[in-house]
Amino acid sequence: MTAGLKDYSDVHFTDEHVARKVIEHFKPSGRILEPFRGSGIFYNALPKGTKWCEINEGRDFFEFNEKVDWIVSNPPFSNLTDIMRHSFNISENTVYLVPLSKIYSSAPRLRLVRDLAGIKEELNFGPGRDIGFDIGFPFAAIHFKRGYFGPTLKSWDYFDV
């Protein structure tokens, strides 16, 4: 839980146009999982046959252990370290739409990036408020690739600096 924020919610729904841009940009294929389906914004834009989890519907992501080629979602932020660890263990490619600070301000998360799945690309969207979130931190769809140790490509959808 993010401390210090009154009435903080771990639920941040993604605008449909943002989810579509993420999917069009990264083009996931093969076995795909949407682990935090929520209202289905990402799931509905992903290819048919995509598997899903949603804790509120009795499908807990942490109980899903099948290997997949891609994970694509907007995950809860409060337990992101555990989410990343599990994702990197079951998927070759993981794309999460998150505030950049959630990755780069956490030593445990950066260790996961170093040890399990490097950041291949950031598709930067700018402030969360500009893409429908109720927080202003800069957001990016981050593509983590298992075993990747190369440079990180910085892509920009829109971002007014």
3-state secondary structure 67-135: CEEEEEECCCCCCHHHHHHHHHHHEEEEEEEEEHHHHHCCHHHHHHHHHCEEEEEEEEEEEHHHHCCCC
Structural domains of the chain ordered from first start: 16-156 (3.40.50.150)
* pLDDT over 80 (residue 8): no
- For the chain, give the percent of residues with pLDDT over 90: 85
* Model pLDDT, residue 10: 56
The pLDDT tens digits for 18-36 are 999 999 999 999 999 999 9
> What is the distance between the alpha carbons of residues 47 and 2, in angstroms, rounded to a whole number?
33
pLDDT tier, 12 (very low <50, low <70, confident <90, very high otherwise): low
pLDDT band at 117 (very low <50, low <70, confident <90, very high): very high
Q: Which two tokens stand for residue 95?
A: 């794309």
Q: What is the pTM of this model?
A: 0.91
